[in-house]
Amino acid sequence: MPLDTPSNAAEEAAHRPAPREYPLRGMRGMIATKMRESLQSSAQLTHHAGADVGAMQALRDHCRAVGLPVPSVQDLLLRLVVQTLGEFPALNATLEDNRITEHAAVHLGLAVPLPDDLLLAPALFDAQAISLGALPGARRTLVEKASAGKLGVRELTGATFTVSNLGRSRVHHFTPILNLPQVAILGIGGTQWRAVPDDDGSVRLAEVIGLSLTFDHRAVNGAPAAAFLDTLCERIEALVPDAFDAELADRKKEPSEP
């Protein structure tokens, strides 16, 4: 194989495309400013945990077997997150002007990726009142509004807790950045097969999903944040197959998500 010579290198450089440059402005610039302000003005810390999704898959298999709509893993997780927030109001909170507000309703922010590497997290209002059967439609409507640029100010600023989902990637854990003034955000990562201890002392293989909770240490201490993650993981792993039959029965059967 011939070695590169200075003339060859110069010729290659002459034909190399010029670097792409563009200003950080508009919505991308606004998002960048908010991310920087979030890190500069809060005390952010992230806990990581993992949960066996076997019970969730068993629930989905049960739904297929009895003819119920099959919920996606994402919608199941969102429903369980909302239920868990009901037990941890300190996480469903905002911090403004040195005043913490714990919200009675869960206005669930959903991170929505848009073209040109943009990201919004509009609020799904009163998520605690949305059944698992109605959740896919409500979520799709919100995503469609975001994609069409039809979100209002209230939807863009009204969330009390946010979920960011990278579950379709190989990323198992990550560090989501708080969407201020919220005090917590949950990152959902992809799954990995791991050896885990079984009840009888043996070891088995389990599909484990990564969960990452970033919280503002000014408003929430490490122990209650860990308790929230522990409870969420236990809720995921303790699901019984018919747990949401009643919530799914009223929804017309639609093509299920993978």
| Cis check: omega of the bond before 181, within 30 degrees of 0 | yes
Which residues in 68-202 belong to E strands, given as ranges?
93-96, 99-102, 108-110, 112-114, 118-120, 123-124, 161-165, 184-197
The number of C-alpha atoms within 13 Å of 210 and in the hemisphere containing its C-beta is: 23
| Catalytic residue selected from 47, 48, 103, 217 | 217
DSSP 224-235: HHHHHHHHHHHH
Is 217 considered catalytic here? yes
Q: Which helix (H) or strand (E) holds 15?
A: helix 6-15
Q: What is the DSSP letter of 221?
A: -
Active site residues: 217
